[in-house]
Chains A and B, each alone.
Chain A
Amino acid sequence: MPAVKETIETVESIAEYEHGFVTEIEMDMAPKGLNTDIVRFISAKKEEPQWMLDWRLRAFERWQTMQEPSWAMVRYPAIDFQDAYYYAAPKAKVELNSLDELDPEILATYQKLGIPLREQEVLAGVRGAPRIAVDAVFDSVSVATTFREELAKSGVIFCSMSEAVREHPELVQAYLGSVVPLSDNFYATLNSAVFSDGTFVYIPPGVRCPMELSTYFRINAAETGQFERTLIIADKGSYVSYLEGCTAPKRDENQLHAAVVELVALEDAEIKYSTVQNWYPGDKNGLGGIYNFVTKRADCRGARSKVSWTQVETGSAVTWKYPSCILRGEESQGEFYSIAITNGHQQADTGTKMIHLGANTRSRIVSKGISAGRSNNTYRGQVSAHAKAKGARNFTQCDSLLIGDQCGAHTIPYVEAKTPYATFEHEATTTRLSEDQLFYCRQRGLPTEDAVALLVNGFVREVLQELPMEFAVEAQKLVAISLEGSVG
């Protein structure tokens, strides 16, 4: 309830992207361009073992034979992949022993963004306040990971990807690329060659992760691509809830973000993955902004495993993203809850894939798209049930809302049924805000802007409810801010 009020106040007070500042800091950069030398350079910087370098080189070789996909409903000028930096890291002062050694500029950046990096700050908070462990990724590298010791007590591994490659090679080797293979798609393959850092999580059998885990991504450097790689493994009977947040400074040029996220859920394990994506969307005229080309996929490998994706997509100039579930284990479950908001000149082509392979697998898709300004917002989803997926069930609900007459809302579901024992239901609607509802709210005294914010929040509530509490409030604010200025 207070959130609604807050939403309204935020709409009034904030009219612009609030994370658009730049942090001035000394950076370690690889030369511009992409070739085997750069791949070797990245690998060497990270002191990687030979197998990791070989893997990267194979990906790079493969990537050179691939073409950028063109089927999505997004238009942008051709990207010159040679005209970007593929490695940027804050100049480190040797190994960090504690957060106090972290560059104060970076600490200040995260503070400004409201991300707690100091455990004592979190702990000093109100009693009963949620505790969240954070991995902060600043451009190409992870700069801090909190609460590690406490997590280690329950056997949870929560660290940067680079560290995992060095410290837990057996896990990384067994799972990396097992969900999103090295040759999966143009952007994922590029990521496989040049990924810089990211988060690694392993939850041992039977462990319920004692706190929310989160990664906070920040693109800071100019002309730099960000290619992080996240791998989460939930071993038998374990549970983890993971949050991901992103921001970037305002810059006139477009910046590329091509991440890969792989989730593996073994028998009876459950992973809840929530994203609030608020990359810089570009200015009013469509100048600048992040190109967000992300491959996210979960493998529900074990019986009765469950993966739930929840995303609130408000940022980026162009979004190309389909968090998916491969429902391999019997009775495994996949969920996708999405709010995608586009305004200004933003373009989003996002949705999910639910691939039913195992018997009695279930999936649920709830997508709420809101287009305003001159933006285009596309839901693209695939649901398929293979011959062995007896008893599979999918339910899909896709609703689109148009605010203004210069935008577009599109719905493109693909349904493939290969067994008579599966049931699919899909419903989609596209409308604008109801004039009657608006009048009703105004009769009760709400100004138009507030009435719109209220109705839009009502429209997306079903998805907001899937977010962890503290994220939901944040997301609700974001929804209102993203639509700022869209009602005439």
Chain B
Amino acid sequence: MVLDTPTLSPGEAMVLAGLPMTEAGDAARDSLKASGLPNRRVEAFKWTDLRAALSEPVADPDGSAGLIPACLQEALVLDFAPDGFGLEGDKDEGLIIETEHSLPMDGAGPVAVLAAGRAPRAVVLRVTSPQTRPIVLRRHPGAPMRLRIELADKAELTLIDMGLAAAGLATGLIEADVGAGARLIRYSVQRGGAQAIDLTHTSVEVANGGSYAAVSLMFGAKLARAETTVCLAGSTARCDLSGAYLLAGQSHADMTIRVVHRAPGSETREVFKGAVQDRARGVFQGKILVERAAQQTDARQNHHALMLSEGAEIDVKPELEIYADDVQCAHGNTIGALDDQALFYMRQRGIDAVTARALLVEAFVTEVFDAMTDPGLRDWFVGLARDWLAEVRA
């Protein structure tokens, strides 16, 4: 097969020009020059065409990183801005923060390569004991972020990553090693404007008895894609992923998830919900891969979405790839409109249609936040969802 070198679009050329002179920058440059950004003919980008989104130069970064909620006032804040990285707040024992200029990459795929390439250096968190103080990753518009997390055996850490760009290309690469019996918890909120492009790749490897739990809330952007790869490399490891996407206007959000079971006796639970209206587009791709050695795997994935108006689109590809026989794997997917009967029931009791809809959508979507143990954070997520509903019905 002959691979033509593509002519880069003005947007791609601009991304290329902005790459720093680092090893990772070189790798990203080579990949861009060789094949450009992935377009819809690339299977994994079938419904999220990066090349099309970046055909024109991206608007200059604009907006803020968003307000840190009251429940996180005590948190340690890592600030990622286009021009550098800063730190705010107290650091506890058992946490070491360093930066590195060159690191081998764990993540894979064009988004990971691009995110690694754009970050002039990587921030490395070494966690040697359980941390009670959460860490906030405050991502400013247009910022490149690269974060490496190493959780020693039995260590624990809670991460909150948030961004609220009106415009600009923001990229993130998070690579985490979760040691034996260690726990990494992550909450993320993504919200971008019509001129913003948010690309984040997360790659987590979990050792024996360790766990990774993540809850994400996406409101989309011109194009937002959150890729997550979790490799349960040790036995009896756990992965709990849940999330919601709420999309209106022209926004586009893509959750692409891949969980790999590599050793026996691990468990995965995924629950995702979406609500999409106007001309927005939600994409959910979730793959569970069970390797031959991963007997006694128990993996379940659920995705349920609501289409709230004409013109919206939801594309889903749940996927099971199974090579071990003593397993229990399942996925379920539903897409449809709100339940007419429930709507009628509420209206019969005197609630107006608009309110009834909002209540039903809220109940439907926020169910995925039940998994959050911290009531402050859960209220924050529910509040964000509620605000969105109030905004879009106005």
Contacts and interface: CB of A to CB of B under 8 A. Distances in A.
Interface of A: 67, 71, 387, 400, 402-432
Nearest to A416: B315
A387 B310 CA distance: 7
A419 B310 contact: yes
B81 to A, nearest CB: 38
Interface string B352-380: 00000000000000000000000000000
Interface in B22-68: 43, 47
Contacts of A387: 310-311
Most buried by A among B309, B318, B322, B336: B322
A434 to B, nearest CB: 11
B307 A426 contact: no
A426 B326 contact: no
A394 to B, nearest CB: 9
Interface in B329-370: 329-337
Interface string B301-323: 00001011111111111111111
Contacts of B332: 426-428
B322 A409 contact: yes
A415 B333 contact: yes
Contacts of A421: 337
A20 B206 CA distance: 50
Contact of B331 (A404, A411, A425): A411
Contact of B292 (A400, A403, A405, A424): A405
A423 B315 CA distance: 13
Contact of A415 (B43, B292, B316, B321): B316
Given A407-B325, A432-B327, A420 B317 contact: no
Nearest to A414: B317
Contacts of B313: 416-418
A61 to B, nearest CB: 20
Given A417-B313, A422-B335, A422-B336, A410 B321 contact: yes
Given A387-B310, A405-B295, A432 B335 contact: no
A412 B317 contact: yes
Given A405-B295, A416-B313, A430 B335 contact: no
A425 B331 CA distance: 11
Most buried by A among B1, B307, B309, B312: B307
Interface in B78-95: none
A412 B329 CA distance: 13
Given A67-B1, A404-B325, A405-B326, A428 B318 contact: yes
B324 interface: yes
A423 B318 contact: no
A430 B318 contact: no
Contacts of A402: 322, 324-325, 327
Nearest to A372: B325
B328 interface: yes
A44 to B, nearest CB: 35
Given A405-B324, A420-B309, 20 more contacts: A400-B322, A407-B323, A410-B319, A410-B320, A410-B322, A411-B331, A413-B317, A413-B318, A413-B319, A415-B335, A416-B47, A417-B315, A417-B335, A418-B313, A419-B307, A425-B334, A426-B334, A427-B333, A428-B330, A430-B328
B333 to A, nearest CB: 4
B292 A420 contact: no
A415 B337 CA distance: 15
A429 B329 contact: yes
A426 B286 CA distance: 14
A270 to B, nearest CB: 27
Contacts of B1: 67
A387 B311 CA distance: 7
B320 A430 contact: yes
Contacts of A403: 325
A274 to B, nearest CB: 27
Given A410-B321, A411-B319, A415-B316, A432 B326 contact: yes
Nearest to B302: A427
